[in-house]
A = this chain, B = another copy of it.
């Protein structure tokens, strides 16, 4: 029996609500030996109170030592083993910007690039052209007609877009056309299997047409495609866990992965933590499970901005009473992965995790929410995929296994 089968067998109804609050890239590192991490440096009295009353631990997103991308890391938080359930980057990018990818469609991420007169790449990101320059180009490419299939292109941000091809008998096993270096031409789309040859041919036709659309551009006169993939047909989160699940997130990527697992993605004005918590409040009675995603901790980490990341954590903490006023039964404050400002990138370090469930948790000895406090927490260090069953248990939503 797989773990999902076990959960489906044991799950039961409850009135208890679960909030999964994800501060993206929360885990950090000290800048100086002996110094605090970003989370430890933040003044976060609300989270510290939750830590005192709740239980801390550390999650391992994928496997020890593996640095996760955002897609796999979120799948793990939602209970899906991200090695078993691989979602292609093309699908993630497309879903994240609202471009639907059905089973059998093939999606790809696209980059505009700058080519020299010989057709060799001289800038893989087309000088990072701004969105207002890129959008009309993507619109032009959307007019391209390829006989036998429908191809939709949509702008993502700056020099990035997504393409989805729809038709009969398409196969996603195609190599990236991005050579990952300058001084050479974009590659043709090469099939990895005989079955995928017709699909690769169709994409090459589309690429040729697209280059015609871009021929007059000073910077974005070329393109590359990456991450050809199709909807993996993930088991649906509401079916597995028996939860009416809402996604409250600002950024497309996180909305996309939530949609792929069947959460109901909410639209709302504003981009601040307070706005997100207010959104959750407005639908509180309609859902059992609320995934709330805060992006900027990760962005500041990637910028190498230790103080900025700390400030975002403090801002979330300041807004937290709006969420706590809803009286969630189970509140988990955690992250998808670590993004230490010192490293300016995602990392493999264990992820600080706070589980607060006043009716059912065993409080541990920890009194602050920090990376090192979590390493000493009562939950121990455990796979992120075990988080959902733990939250379900603390919400009284899992029956006993066996007599």
Contacts and interface: CB of A to CB of B under 8 A. Distances in A.
Interface stretch (A66-74, A182-190, A244-252, A263-271): A66-74
Given A72-B401, A382-B381, A402-B89, A348 B393 contact: yes
Contact of A66 (B82, B365, B378, B398): B398
A72 B402 contact: yes
Contact of A63 (B37, B62, B348, B386): B386
A72 B6 CA distance: 13
B68 A401 contact: yes
Contact of A392 (B62, B65, B394, B401): B65
A83 B6 contact: yes
A360 B380 contact: no
A390 B33 CA distance: 20
A380 B380 contact: yes
A343 interface: yes
B389 A66 contact: yes
A345 to B, nearest CB: 8
Interface stretch (A99-107, A135-143, A369-377): A369-377
B376 A365 contact: yes
A15 to B, nearest CB: 17
A403 B92 contact: yes
Q: How large is the interface on A (under 10, 10 to 19, 20 to 34, 35 or more residues)?
A: 35 or more
A30 interface: yes
A154 interface: no
B375 A380 contact: yes
A175 interface: no
Contacts of A68: 400-402
Contacts of A380: 58, 350, 375, 380-381
Nearest to A393: B65
Contacts of A403: 69-71, 89, 92-93, 227
* Majority-rule SS of A interface residues: loop
Given A3-B63, A403-B69, A343 B371 contact: no
A37 B403 CA distance: 25
Nearest to A90: B403
Nearest to A56: B375
A399 interface: yes
Nearest to A377: B375
Contacts of A348: 390, 393, 398
A373 to B, nearest CB: 9
B53 A33 contact: yes
Contacts of A364: 372, 375
B376 A376 contact: yes
B70 A362 contact: no
A300 interface: no
A363 interface: yes
A47 B398 CA distance: 33
Contacts of A392: 65
A188 B83 CA distance: 45
A83 B9 CA distance: 12
Given A37-B362, A69-B402, A72-B401, 7 more contacts: A33-B358, A65-B392, A68-B400, A82-B401, A227-B403, A350-B380, A375-B377
Interface of A: 1, 3, 6, 10, 29-30, 33-34, 37, 53, 58, 62-73, 82-83, 86-87, 89, 92-93, 227, 343, 345-350, 358, 360, 362-365, 371-372, 375-382, 386, 388-394, 398-403
